[in-house]
Amino acid sequence: MKSFKAMILAAGLATRLQPLTLNRPKVLVPVQNRPLLDWLVAYLSSGGAEEVIVNTYHLSEKLIAYVESSDFPIPVHLRIEKTLLGTGGGIRNVMDFWDQRPFVVINGDILSAIDLQGVLRSHEDSGAAVTLVLKDEPLFNGVQVANDGRILAFSGGSEQHLAFTGIHVLERRVLAGIQVGVPSSIIDCYLQLIASGEKVMAHVVQDEFWRELGSLSGYLQMHEELFRMSRTPVPGLQVDGKVVVHESARLGSGVHLDGMVCIGAECEVEHGVGIQRSIIWEQVTIGRGCSIQDSIIGDGVEVTESLEGVVASSEGRGKIVDF
């Protein structure tokens, strides 16, 4: 197995997950009661990563506290950004962490079982400066790929269109054109490489599991999808119609759980509550007889009325659309 260093891009504001991410950075959003960061580090470790660096800006103090209190399978380092540097500036800002091997970067809002060793082999065989992992996902398709696998552009055109999964492999020389400490997009860097004749290649996957969790509807739909699967795509995820209830949660008599339900640590669910297709984070209290459907309830919320299609946090409420 080829070993490598990796980076998780996690400094963004995660506006599509608000109001939930007003008090949690997106990599600490729970997936079946386990922060997404845990799943990402486990994925990278099993794929050959020997250590990981995570950039942070939004709510960095919470991420620092979580990492310091956690026991990961490989070392996890943090790089705090004093100003938000974007994807290009963020990657350039950790160049001292790199070595001469190809470097793996992944977005902090995905869940994946894509074979990283296969991606690395494809990258090295092609001699590319960058290899991006692409997949046919109609909601996100927009990357143009030529018949020889070269990426041509990131919008428009008549060539094959595929979605960028947020997983890419970079050579060290890629960052030569990125200014230190200046906000920039890594996609702009890749466009400059393409214009200069450098190889920016696609590694296309077909049936390998990958989901983007950057929106409220996508987050809820992914949990619903897992509930309906017969086999887990990622070790440790619960499937096959199983509800997920933290051992410290307290459920009163007559509580009814229907379909996909996740209930987090130290929740109090009182008598006669009905919960259907919903995710309840930590330290939530749901009052007697309330009904919760198709909703996400954030940390510490006290629910005193029935809710449907709602996202609620201590910072406010909103509606979940397209679910």
CA distances from 121 to 103, 128, 199 (A): 13, 11, 15
Q: Which residues contact 61 (CB under 8 A, 6 or more apart)?
A: none
DSSP H or E segment with residue 89: helix 86-92
pLDDT recorded at residue 175:
87
pLDDT recorded at residue 323:
57
The pTM of the full predicted model, rounded to 2 decimals, is: 0.95
Please, are residues 74 and 7 in contact by the beta-carbon 8 Å criterion? no
Hey, where are the domains in the chain? Answer: 4-212, 216-319
Q: How many angstroms separate the CA atoms of 135 and 203, rounded?
A: 9
pLDDT digits (tens, 9 = 90+) for 279-290: 999 999 999 999
On the question of pLDDT at 322 being above 80, the answer is: no
For the residues 216-229, what does the mean pLDDT come to? Answer: 95
For the residues 79-95, what does the mean pLDDT come to? Answer: 97
Superfamily of domain 4-212: Spore Coat Polysaccharide Biosynthesis Protein SpsA; Chain A (3.90.550.10)
CA distances from 119 to 60, 65, 169, 212, 304 (A): 31, 33, 8, 19, 49
For the residues 239-262, what does the mean pLDDT come to? Answer: 97
Any idea which fold 216-319 has? UDP N-Acetylglucosamine Acyltransferase; domain 1 (2.160.10)
